Structure 1
Amino acid sequence: MPSASDIEYHGKSAAHQFFDAADWFSAQAGLAPELARAAFALGRLEGAVAALEPEARAGANRRLALIEVEAMLWAQGTPLRREEIGRDLMEARAGADLEAMRLARWGIRRLEGQGDPRELRGFLGLHRAAVSGLDELLATRPTGQDFDAAVEEFRQLAGQVAALSPLVRAAALRVLWRLCGLSAPEMLAEPATWTARDMAEGCEALRFVPLGRHGRAVWVDAGPPAERMARHLAAVTAGIQDARHELARVADWQARAQAAMAGVKGDNAGRVIRALAAHPLLNAAMLEDSAGISRDTAERMLARMKAMGLAREITGGRRFRLWMLAG
């Protein structure tokens, strides 16, 4: 069998040789109960995020994106903790692998809704290749007209499974992505990010469908379509459930913090609690802006909440400190 990077095999591309859309439609028909469970779980998560205030909604998407990218990078063999990624996004350099951090920044931005998935060159950031250089993983990707041809083939074959439910279509599209050679074989974050966005078709509050740690079971996968799709739906359902648990954890913390700070006069405590719940990470300046309080008040409240075990500082420094909720 030829590798996914082979351009031609017996007169046809590898993608056309080994991809049969009918197999995927048959797989979907045989997994109707599993698809219904996954769709129900997604609807509940979408409803939970949609119910949040705009600032908290954006924060929830960022929180879930940090978890997702962390899982992708660990599965790819370039581990970064979500706190490190968050620090880098806020320009508080974590001193981690620069290439892995570049990929993490790209993944977070795309999962938060930046970039048009229909325009693959821009979505993957390839327009910057001439000035930024290519790392070893990207060096094996087709370039120029070869890349455009691969994208065209991907679009043609993806059109054959467009009628699949978005939640199961991702399993087929990951296979197609590999067969068309849109990314290097070792680069799983790119197809994982693209399909996460594609699965969220029709969602208004969610920007992507999270798989989290369960994505490791399917981002690199093998087997016939029915088996791949079954594993994929299991990962989708479990990932969505984990995402709901994460949002519930934040809501529980908010309730505990409000009870613990009930004796503080005025409404500053409530404002700080809401800001910490809305943002995965923030500094005193962000808290000042989000809560509408002075910098001194922000720093005093953070120090008080740290002493109460409600907040923690992650940099360990005395300047450019970053805070998150604790517990």
Structure 2
Amino acid sequence: MKPQPSALTDDFDDPLITIEEDEEAHDEDLWFLPGPLEEEPDVLPPGPRAEPPDTAVIDGWAKAEGVHAARLARVAGRLGALDDRLLRGPEGWRHRLALIEAADLSWLNGDRVSSDRLALWVSMRLSGAQDDPNALARVGWAVRRLTGGPGPNVDLAAFLDRRDPENIEDSAERLKDRAGGWLDVMTAAVDLHPITRACMGFHLWNLAGLGQHGDRLEAAVTASRIAASEERGAIFAPLAMGGAGGLRSGGPPAERLERWLDGMESAVLTAMRHLDDIEAWAARAKHAMAMLSGRTPTNLRKVFTDWPLISAPMAEILTGASRAAVQRNLKLMDEMGLVQEISGQGRFRIWRAGK
């Protein structure tokens, strides 16, 4: 048998073929396999994305609070001073401020209920032919919520005095669900200052589906209660006594909070001036009426302290005195310069404290 020649070379200077080179040569021979995939441009429209949670808005308000921290501290201090003043003052001061605030807030919806009309409605349920009963009922609700009762954090539906209609469609969102979503956001923002949370809640009101035909009165009353939730004397924080500029919408959270703080500061200062005036009047009236006997002068003086405007029928009901006794004491107080008749009419006259 003829021997086969060896495939190995005797030339040790030639490099040996490595395993890697052999695999590369083997891969090049696989011409029938498809080549590597090339990345193609993504021209398809984006698919649905997950919506951010409702609590994502809190971050923007937290940043706004940090920007206006100094101003927030100043407004909180003024509200604390009002709280201390009301805590030491008579109960009627809260009622008086609530009537003034509710009358000013009525302009948000275009109702424009004056203080004298509101006083007649709240005390005697009287309204004129030109008055809108629905508007008076709305503002009367505001007075009740600004003078006491459970706050909105307990049961928002009960606070609003609203319920779903009986014939509501199955697909419609329930008031309980809408109120629950709004309360969840407010609860998640517990680290924010109550004034900041009140501002945030006011501006999220319509987004939560709680507004009725553009009604902003409910949102403002709810926010005013939240802003004063940590106070003991003040049941609500004034928002509209100095003008409703702080309740305007538009802009990022920082701009809205800035307007809110400016408006609240002006409203609190206006409320303090009201209390200064009525406190000075009460001291002057007590001194001037010291010689008058009976309970009617004292009760009538208290009525003027509690109510910004009164009529003779109102005073008769609130004091429990006779019409003759009320009119006689009103005449005496007018002669003393303690009260002023502002209607200028012979009948259905309206009086206020001071001259």
- The TM-score with structure 1 as length reference comes to 0.80
What is aligned with 1:283?
Answer: 315
1:144–1:198 CA distance, 2 compared to 1 (3 A): farther
User: SS of 1:126's equivalent?
Assistant: coil
Residue ranges of structure 2 left out of the alignment (5+ in a row): 1-47
Conserved in 1, the CA contact under 8 Å of 2:83 and 2:234?
Answer: yes
Distance 2:87 2:172 in 1: 41
Q: Which residue is equivalent to 1:34?
A: 71
CA RMSD in angstroms, aligned pairs only: 3.1
Larger Rg, first or second structure (1 or 2): 2
Q: 1:243-254 alignment to 2 at 5 Å?
A: 243-254=271-282
Residue of structure 2 aligned with 1:63, choices 83, 87, 96: 96
Partner Cα separation in structure 1 for residue 336 and residue 161 of structure 2? 44
Per-residue CA deviation, residues 161-205 of structure 1 (Å, 9 max, x unaligned), is: 221111121111112212111113510101000011111112122
Superposed counterparts of 1:262-301, under 5 Å: 264-266=291-293, 269=297, 272-280=300-308, 281=310, 282-288=314-320, 296-301=324-329
Residue pairs, 1:75-224, within 5 angstroms = 75-91=108-124, 93-95=126-128, 96-118=131-153, 119-127=155-163, 145-184=173-212, 186-214=214-242, 216-224=244-252
CA contact (8 A) 1:24 1:226 kept: yes
Residue 283 of structure 1 contacts residue 322 of structure 1 at CA under 8 Å; is this kept in 2? no
1:69, 1:108 within 8 Å by CA — same for their partners in 2?
yes
**Count of aligned residue pairs for this structure pair:** 298
**Which stretch of structure 1 is more off in the superposition, 69-78 or 208-217?**
208-217
The letter of the residue matching 1:183 is G
Distance 2:264 2:303 in 1: 29
> Counterparts of 1:206 and 1:90 in 2: how far apart (Å)?
22
User: Identity of aligned pairs, percent?
Assistant: 27
Report deviation, 1:108. 0.5
Take 1:240 and 1:72, find their aligned partners in 2: how far apart are those partners? 14
Deviation at 1:325, TM superposition (A): 1.8
Query: Which range is displaced more, 252-261 or 237-246?
Result: 252-261
Structure 2 residue aligned with 1:22: 59
Q: For 1:275 and 1:171, how far apart are their aligned partners in 2?
A: 34
Q: Deviations along 1:72-109, whole A, 9 cap, x unmatched? A: 11122111101101101112513111111010111110
Equivalent position SS for 1:182: coil
Where relative contact order (Cα < 8 A, 6+ residues apart) is larger, the structure is 1
Bigger drift between 25-34 and 120-129 goes to 120-129
SS in 2 for 1:309: coil
Structure holding more helix per residue: 1
1:5 equivalent in structure 2: none
**Is contact 1:167-1:199 (8 Å) kept?**
yes
Counterparts of 2:104 and 2:78 in 1: how far apart (Å)? Answer: 20
Q: Give the whole-Å Cα distance in 1 for the aligned partners of 2:77 and 2:206.
A: 29
Say if 1:326 and 1:226 are closer, same or farther in 2 by CA, change over 3 A.
same
**Structure 1 gap ranges (5+):** 1-8, 134-138
Identify the residue that residue 337 of structure 2 maps to in structure 1: 309
Aligned to 2:283: 255
Give the TM-score normalised by structure 2: 0.74
What residue is the counterpart of 1:326 in the other structure? Answer: 354
Q: Contact between 1:61 and 1:206, CA under 8 Å: does it hold in 2?
A: yes
Distance 2:139 2:318 in 1: 22
Aligned match of 1:4:
none
TM-superposed CA distance for 1:306, in Å, is 2.3
2:262 to 206, 209, 234: 234
The alpha carbon displacement at 1:226 in A equals 0.8
